[in-house]
Amino acid sequence: MNKSLTDQELEHVARVIKDKIFVPRNRKRVTVFLCGADIKNDKTARSQMAAVFSHYPRYELLYPEDLFDDLLAGQGQHSLLKLEGILADSVDAIVLFPESPGSFAEIGAFSNNEQLARKMVVLSNRKYKSNKSFINYGPYRLIKSSGTGKVIHINYDHLTVPDEYHRIYRNVNNYITQIRKEHPVEKDVANILEAENFILPCIYLLDKLNNVMLSKLIGFATNQDKVLCDIATKSSLGRLAFKKFISRTATGYQVTPLGAEYVRNTFDNIYLDKVRIEILNAENRRNASVRYDRIVSGAHP
């Protein structure tokens, strides 16, 4: 940049991206947090259910190890309780198979969060239905008492039998439909599962942005607290890097050719160009500045 943009100018850019450029990734898709044993092991019920969901393109599956692990680790780590609250505001439903130590911990934590409990559909192994266990007497009762949360006892072997797994899917789909009706999710920039479609145009239009600046831009667009903005930024950058839409340099993030193609095919090119011109004017002309109203109205000096 020849001249750095002020915070006020960056706020104008963030508002235009939010109002005129941002497009939700999952506007027409149902986001499901699928929990259970190792997804890479095709013998687990979780992996088999993922295969069932793959027949129905209306669903977008998400996995806790992809979303939470990086956010919980390292310096500046976030608390699981904070992440659970953000997850409750972001995902349409949680489908959980209690079949591993990790999933036992998840069902215990999620069932104690009222907002998450009411979004849960637990598919429990039928052979343990009558056991006098902590899970049966604790988490399951909390989920059932949430109003919309459900516990279904099924035969896990049926997940590989077409007639049976279609029946299981129909039940799960009906419960998720009810959950979405009673507890709708906002598919906006503040949703951490949607924020990448705000972050990517920011990087495209403002080269060499770092984590701190991107978190600030999300804050300008959403008025959310710093913790949520930091989490949304970190999780979005991870997904965008995995898709090879962005790369990291010594001075910050930049859009790859693949990412640039996605931006041009996904977002409003007219407003992308308007913002680009406004930024170039502000950077290269002594008395010029970025203004939201001028970009939106289309008037330029």
pLDDT in tens, 189-226: 988 889 999 999 999 999 789 999 999 999 999 998 88
For 171, other C-beta atoms within 10 Å of its C-beta total 14
Q: Name which CATH class applies to 30-182.
A: alpha beta
Q: Is the pLDDT of residue 25 over 90?
A: no
Q: What is the pLDDT of residue 47?
A: 96
> Are 234 and 71 within 8 A, CB to CB?
yes
Q: What is the pLDDT of residue 285?
A: 77
Q: Is the pLDDT of residue 70 over 80?
A: no
In percent, the amount of the chain with pLDDT more than 90 equals 57
For 128, other C-beta atoms within 10 Å of its C-beta total 12
What is the pLDDT confidence band of residue 109, given thresholds at 50, 70 and 90? Answer: confident
Kindly provide the residue ranges of all beta strands, DSSP E only, lying in the chain, ordered along the sequence: 30-35, 59-62, 93-96, 120-125, 150-154, 246-249, 252-255
Q: Which of 78-82, 221-225, 292-296 is least confident?
A: 78-82
Mean pLDDT (the chain) is 87
CATH 3.40.50.2300 in the chain: give the residue spans.
30-182
Amino acid identity for residue 260 in this structure? A
Q: What is the pLDDT of residue 74?
A: 47
Q: Which residues contact 19 (CB under 8 A, 6 or more apart)?
A: 296
Q: What is the pLDDT of residue 81?
A: 61
CATH 1.10.10 in the chain: give the residue spans.
7-25+188-297
For 252, other C-beta atoms within 10 Å of its C-beta total 17
Q: Is the pLDDT of residue 129 over 70?
A: yes
What average pLDDT does range 73-88 have in this prediction? 62
pTM for the whole structure = 0.83
Q: What is the pLDDT of residue 96?
A: 95
What average pLDDT does range 38-45 have in this prediction? 93
Helix (H, G, I), strand (E, B) or coil at 240: helix
Q: Which of 72-81, 151-160, 172-181, 248-257 is least confident?
A: 72-81
> Are 223 and 266 within 8 A, CB to CB?
no
In CATH, what number does 7-25+188-297 get?
1.10.10
Q: Which residues contact 84 (CB under 8 A, 6 or more apart)?
A: 109, 110, 113, 116
> What is the distance between the alpha carbons of residues 285 and 162, in angstroms, rounded to a whole number?
65
Residue 121 has φ and ψ, to the nearest 5°, of: -120, 110
Q: What is the pLDDT of residue 1?
A: 42
Q: What is the pLDDT of residue 65?
A: 74
> Are 4 and 65 within 8 A, CB to CB?
no
Q: What is the pLDDT of residues 247-282, one digit of tens each?
A: 999 889 999 999 999 999 999 999 999 999 888 888
Q: Which residues contact 130 (CB under 8 A, 6 or more apart)?
A: none
Q: What is the pLDDT of residue 85?
A: 75
